[in-house]
Amino acid sequence: MILTVTLNTALDITYRIPALRAGSSHRVSEVTERPGGKGVNVARVLAALGHEVTVTGFAGGTTGRVLRDLLTEVPHLTDALVPVTGTTRRTVAVVDGRSGDTTQLNEPGPTVSHAEWSAFQEVYGDLLASASAVALCGSLPPGVPVGAYAGLIRTARAAGVPTLLDTSGSALRRGVAGRPDILKPNADELAELTGSHEPLRATLDARRRGAGTVVASLGAQGLLAVTPDSRWHAAPPARLRGNPTGAGDSAVAGLLSALVEQQPWPAALSRAVALSAATVLSPAAGEFDRTTYEKLLPTVTVTRESNAA
């Protein structure tokens, strides 16, 4: 079983309108709802690939109930979310039909009490006993300690479970000190962590801060990975036009699935790039088409260069 942790789950709501005009009233042509938060998105992709996956984190209130109801519809996915008295946040995406642009509105999430945080840690420890790997993803809701991810990574290491961390800001700065097996920032998060906008230099710096391997998302340029003994670059065959929403989460799912299958780095990075690209090309934001993914997989280019000085 693969475990994904989403401390700040969300109910993702997408509104489609003909054209977005600031200060105007709009008639919505289509509304969709789906369970969200980065780790939940990762879990949905893993489940679609056929992996047994368990989702944990927090859920509460009316939106939390809707989110959990939607999770029951996902084959291969088990809900182990911890209830909170607050209400799970909503994220609202407004898609402009004329330009194709998306405007995102993200709520902060419910405040988590000390007792709720303690309850989660107990559930998390129990779930690790049957986990083959764990992904710790997304923002921290109010009330959760800023060093939460570092502690959760250390708990997983003590249980012999490999970890992947995908977060940002102070949670990333503190979390990398926990020494995750894989760190998966995007280019902006990597620059914020290290102060460098040069991808290779920043990726090497992030490894020195504690990560075993750093896999950086470089947008259309693909992935740059620095492992303990090599560095790799994986890229799609051409620049893709589409919606990048959820592409990073699909890449995380690709890396995590390859990790538990003990795939070598070229195969892992190819899978991550192909899943990310298939997500960009999907007409539904954050989804991917299995056939498109399988067609893209053999077209990904992976090159290697030694880390030796």
**17, 39 Cβ separation under 8 angstroms:** no
DSSP E strand stretches across the chain: 2-6, 10-17, 30-36, 53-59, 77-79, 82-83, 89-96, 102-106, 133-137, 163-166, 182-183, 213-217, 223-226, 230-235, 301-306
CA distance linking residue 199 with residue 148, whole number of Å: 27
What is the rounded CA–CA span in Å between residue 29 and residue 97? Answer: 10
Instruction: Respond yes or no: is residue 188 known to be catalytic.
Output: no
Q: Which of 12, 79, 166, 249 is catalytic?
A: 249
How far apart CA 177 and CA 27 sit, in angstroms, is 48
User: In sequence order, what are the beta bridge partners of 134?
Assistant: 3, 163
| CB environment 84-114: b (16+ within 10 A), e (fewer) | bebbbbbeebbbbeeeeebeeeeeebbebee
Residues taking part in catalysis: 249
